[in-house]
Amino acid sequence: MSTEPLLKVENLTKHYVGRLSLAQRLAREKPSVVRAVSDVSLEVRKGEILGLIGESGCGKSTLGRAILRLHEPTSGRVTFDGQEVTTLDPMALKDIRRRMQIIFQDPYASLNPRRTVAEIVGLPLKLHDLATSADDLRAKVIAIIERIGLKANQLDRYPHQFSGGQRQRIGIARALISNPDFIVCDEPVSALDVSIQAQIIELLLELKREMGLTYLFISHDISVIGYLADRVAVMYLGEIVEMGPVDAVLSAPRHPYTQSLMSAVPDVDHPGHAQRVRLTGDLPSPLDPPSGCKFHTRCPLAVDRCRSEAPISEDLGGGHRAACHRLHEKLSLLETA
Ligand SMILES: Nc1ncnc2c1ncn2[C@@H]1O[C@H](COP(=O)(O)OP(=O)(O)OP(=O)(O)O)[C@@H](O)[C@H]1O
Ligand SMILES: [Mg+2]
C-alpha cells in the first residue's frame, strides 16, 4: 500500500438549502438549511479502504456524494490524484468520473427499471466512449457480468427479475466497467440479507485486489468496518470526531461517541466486559445543530466548555486523531461493568 493520498478532502461542507414557496418568499422567510456535512478533512491513500461510520442521518452519503460532486459541495476542496475536482468544468468532471465511481446503498432504487442489465452496465462505456463497436461493448459487458457472478444469458433481463444480492452485483458491474481507481461504497450491503452480505463483501475485496482499487466504504456496521477497513473515520452530525488505523480506533476509541458505538458491539472474548453506554436523547437535527461540541447534548462527559467551544481535532500519534475537550483526562465510558 502506498502512502501517497489518492484522494484529499479539505474542509468540505455541504448544506442543503430548502426551497421556498412563493408565499414564503413574499413573507421574506429564510430558507431552512440542513447542515449535513461540516468542515470535513480526510485523505484516502492509494490501495486502502477507509471506513466511514456513524448513525443514520449523520451525513455519510452526503459526504460520499459531495466528494464525487454528485451533490455540489457548499465549500471546501476535493483533490483526486493531484487534480482539484471541486473546480473542474463539466467536461473535465466527466473525464474524472470515469475514475471515481459509486455503489449505492439501495440496489432497488439505483437501477433504472426500464433498462436491461446490458443497457445499465453498458451505459458508462457509452458515456465515456470506451467501446469501439457494438460488439466490443457487448463483449466488455459480458466480461464484467461474468466476473461479478451473473451469466451472459441474463443480460437482456430487467432489474425486477433479480434478487437484491444480484441487483447489487449489477450495481458493482456498472461501477467497475469503466475501470475506475476509486469507489465510494455507500452501505453496499445494508439492504441485503445477512447471508448475502458476506458474499458481496468478499466480492468487493476480491475486485479491489484484482483491479488495484481504493475504497471509501460507508457503513453503520462496526463489525463490517473492523473486518475490511484499514483506517476508519467516525462521523457525528456532519463532522469527523475520530479517525485512525482501524485497530487503534476500534480497540482503544478515544472519543466518547466512538466509545458509545463500541460499547454496543458484543465482545465475544470478554462477555460483560464493558457496560453498554446508553446515549440520552436522539441525534439532534442538522437544521439546528448544538453549539460548541455537537456531541455535548448526548455526551455523559460534557462540561461547560463543551457547550460553548468546538473542540479541535488532535493528533494522538500513529495517525490517530480525535476532537474532544476531555481527551487528555483519560476518561473512558468503557470501564468494566
Ligand atoms: N437532497 C437532500 N436535501 C435535503 N436534505 C438532505 C438531502 N439528502 C440528505 N439530506 C439530509 O442531510 C442529513 C444527512 O443525510 P445523509 O443521507 O447524508 O445521512 P447518512 O449518514 O447517509 O444516513 P443513512 O445512514 O440513513 O444513510 C440528513 O438530515 C438528511 O435528512
Ligand atoms: Mg446514507
Each residue of 146-195: pLDDT tens digit? 999 999 999 999 999 999 999 999 999 999 999 999 999 999 999 899 98
Task: Report pLDDT for 219.
Answer: 95
Task: Report pLDDT for 72.
Answer: 96
Which ligand 1 atom lies nearest to the CA of residue 286?
Answer: 29
Which ligand 1 atom lies nearest to the CA of residue 37?
Answer: 14
Q: Report the alpha-carbon distance of residue 142 to residue 150 in Å, rounded.
A: 9
Nearest 10 degrees: CA dihedral of 126, 127, 129, 132? 0
- CATH code, 87: 3.40.50.300
Which ligand 1 atom lies nearest to the CA of residue 187?
Answer: 27
Question: Is position 46 within any domain?
Answer: yes
Q: Ligand 1, residues 19, 33, 61, 285: which to mutate, most atoms within 8 A of Cβ?
A: 61
Query: In total, how many domains does the chain have?
Result: 1
Q: What is the pTM of this model?
A: 0.93
Q: How many angstroms is it from 36 CA to the middle of ligand 1?
A: 7
Task: Report pLDDT for 30.
Answer: 87
Q: Which residue lies with its CA nearest to atom 31 of ligand 1? A: 57
Residues of the chain with pLDDT under 70: 1-3, 267-275, 335-337
Q: How many angstroms is it from 186 CA to the middle of ligand 2?
A: 7
As given in the structure block, the three cell numbers for residue 252 are 482503544
Residues framing ligand 1 (Cβ under 6 A)? 16, 34, 36, 54, 56-62, 220, 286
Question: Is position 175 within any domain?
Answer: no
Task: Report pLDDT for 272.
Answer: 53
Q: How many angstroms is it from 61 CA to the middle of ligand 2?
A: 4
Question: Is position 163 within any domain?
Answer: no
Question: Is position 274 within any domain?
Answer: yes
Task: Report pLDDT for 336.
Answer: 46
CA distances from 243 to 16, 46, 289, 319 (A): 25, 17, 21, 8
Q: Report the alpha-carbon distance of residue 226 to residue 247 in Å, rounded.
A: 8
As given in the structure block, the three cell numbers for residue 102 are 459509486
Which ligand 1 atom lies nearest to the CA of residue 59?
Answer: 18
Helix (H, G, I), strand (E, B) or coil at 277: coil
Question: Is position 162 within any domain?
Answer: no
Which ligand 1 atom lies nearest to the CA of residue 71?
Answer: 1
Q: Which residue lies with its CA nearest to atom 16 of ligand 1? A: 59
Q: How many angstroms is it from 149 CA to the middle of ligand 1?
A: 32
Question: Is position 220 within any domain?
Answer: yes
Task: Report pLDDT for 164.
Answer: 93
CA distances from 273 to 104, 199, 250 (A): 36, 31, 15
**Range of the structural domain that residue 301 is part of:** 5-99+180-336
Give the long-range contacts of residues 312-318, CB within 8 A, separation 24 or more: 313/240, 313/243, 316/244, 316/254, 318/244, 318/245, 318/248
Q: Which residue lies with its CA nearest to atom 30 of ligand 1? A: 57
Q: How many angstroms is it from 13 CA to the middle of ligand 1?
A: 13
Q: Which residues contact 207 (CB under 8 A, 6 or more apart)?
A: 147, 148, 172, 176, 213
Question: Is position 315 within any domain?
Answer: yes
Question: Is position 147 within any domain?
Answer: no
Task: Report pLDDT for 264.
Answer: 78
Task: Report pLDDT for 333.
Answer: 80
